[in-house]
Amino acid sequence: MTVAAPPSRDWNRFSGASRPLAAAVLALLAFLMLYGVASGAGDDRIEPAGKNAMQADGLVGDHALYSRIFQRVADGESYYAAAAAEHRANHYPTKPFFTVRLPTLAWIFAALGGQGGVIFVSAIGFAAVIAWRKRLIADPDLPGYARIAPIFILANISYLVVLEWTLIHEAAAGVLIALALALYQPARPWAAMAVLSVAVAIRETALPVAILFGCFALFDRDWRAVAAWLAAGLVFLLILVLHMFAVSAVANPGDIASPGWNGFGGWASYLSFVHLMSGFRFFPAWTTALLVPLALLGWAAWRSRLALAVLGVQLIYALLLMLFARSNNFYWAMLVVPTIYIGLVFAPAALAALGRSLLRSGLSAPRAMT
């Protein structure tokens, strides 16, 4: 009878960390947690649709806008004519051109209908859950409990069963990003590239993930993958140019312009957005202020290219949300909430390793970090 070898501790980047590194990481963790709690993250930093917002089909604000657009497209109207008319009639900007969404999601909903669109986006979310579970099971170095991590995806994409939220482009783009990350293999990036291309075609704010993957390919000197990512980028640039001309053709000189994206809400706003769009919205906001740094620590602990990619994605969007998202752009957090809390599974082992490094005898020689 053969007994399976226990999981290697090498997966944990913080195993054998030096005392100074352990102290610095724990200090940063404590600072982010305490600052998050003290900064007052919560609903006060969110600006929901007001009483004068657009209303249609029992929906309010952006939800109503996208519902009316896809219904008009389903009735045979051109996407750009329908979008411009609804934007104009309900005091939404058409300037700059990217205030009008790319037509991909509207075309999908027009073809499938409202409930069909919900099923389509939910199926992508379910596929992301399955792909993540398979990916975590396939890593022999991870402990057995890592396979429960996809529960955190399920808990944070519950909004996909409601038409109101699947009409928001970030919902579909977010689960596509989650699926692309689960499929990402540095030596075989093609599946992730295909999925991510769909995400970018739905919401161009998924582009930073594609850029990150392209940078990994460049770092690996995988010139075939670099060429493929560049080709995908050029195709998207062409699509964006065509989109710009299409929006310009239906815009009027008197159309209103966006107030810009200069929220500068900082860490507190970022936490507020993540809190509202995650499954932890049913708990006090201070729970998110404590859990998000722990989740990021967990991602930092897992020694793998995939974990580095997810951590990079999380930090990039955290910066974008802190700097640019206005209080009514809280739904941008849907791009990251499907995957961020997976890191909580790895956080206890990370804390234990850092604690051991901090408390061990000064005569112990630290193991080299890689």
Q: Do 70 and 127 fall within a single domain?
A: yes
Q: What is the pLDDT of residue 81?
A: 98
Would the pLDDT of 3 be above 50? no
pLDDT at 52: 85
Rounded to an integer, the average pLDDT of 61-81 is 98
353: helix, strand or coil: helix
Closest CA to 126 of 338, 347, 321, 356: 338
Residue 364: is its pLDDT beyond 90? no
Residue 257 β-bridge partners: 95
Predicted pLDDT at 51: 76
**How would residue 2 be classed by pLDDT, with cut points 50, 70 and 90?**
very low
pLDDT digits (tens, 9 = 90+) for 36-48: 999 999 999 999 8
Q: Would you say the C-alpha torsion 306, 308, 310, 312 has a positive or negative sign? A: negative
Q: What is the dihedral angle through the alpha carbons of 335, 338, 340, 344, rounded to the nearest 10 degrees?
A: 170
User: Are the CB atoms for 83 and 69 separated by under 8 Å?
Assistant: yes
Residue range 155-166: mean pLDDT, rounded: 96
DSSP state of 262: -
> Is the domain of 248 the same as that of 278?
no
Range of the domain at 317: 17-46+263-360
Q: Which residue shows structure tokens 């610095």?
A: 24
Number of domains in the chain: 2
Residue where a domain terminates, one of 229, 258, 287: 258
Whether residue 3 lies inside any domain: the answer is no
Q: Please check whether residues 253 and 290 belong to one and the same domain.
A: no
Tell me what pLDDT residue 6 has.
Answer: 54
Identify whether residues 325 and 211 lie together within a single domain. no
pLDDT classification of 49: cutoffs 50, 70, 90: confident
Instruction: Report the mean per-residue pLDDT for the chain.
Output: 94
Which tens digit of pLDDT belongs to each residue from 234-287? 999 999 999 999 999 999 999 999 999 999 999 999 999 999 999 999 999 999
pLDDT of residue 152: 97
Same domain as 157, residue 194: yes
In terms of C-beta density within 10 A (0-12 exposed, 13-18 middle, 19 or more buried), how is residue 262 classed?
exposed
- To which H or E segment does residue 314 belong? helix 305-323
Paired with 55 in beta bridges are 60
Let me know whether 181 and 232 are in one domain: yes
Residue that is last in its domain, among 226, 243, 258: 258
Tell me, yes or no, whether 296 and 214 share the same domain.
Answer: no
Question: Are 253 and 270 contained in the same domain?
Answer: no
DSSP code of 9? G
- Residue 368 scores a pLDDT above 80: no
Residue 56 DSSP class: E
pLDDT of residue 50: 81
Residue 362: pLDDT band (50, 70, 90) is: low
Which tens digits make up the pLDDT trace of 188-234?
999 999 999 999 999 999 999 999 999 999 999 999 999 999 999 99
Both 189 and 236 in one domain: the answer is yes
Token pair 């205030």: residue: 99
Asked if the model's pLDDT at residue 10 lies above 90, the reply is no
Domain boundary among 238, 258, 278: 258
239 in the same domain as 101: yes
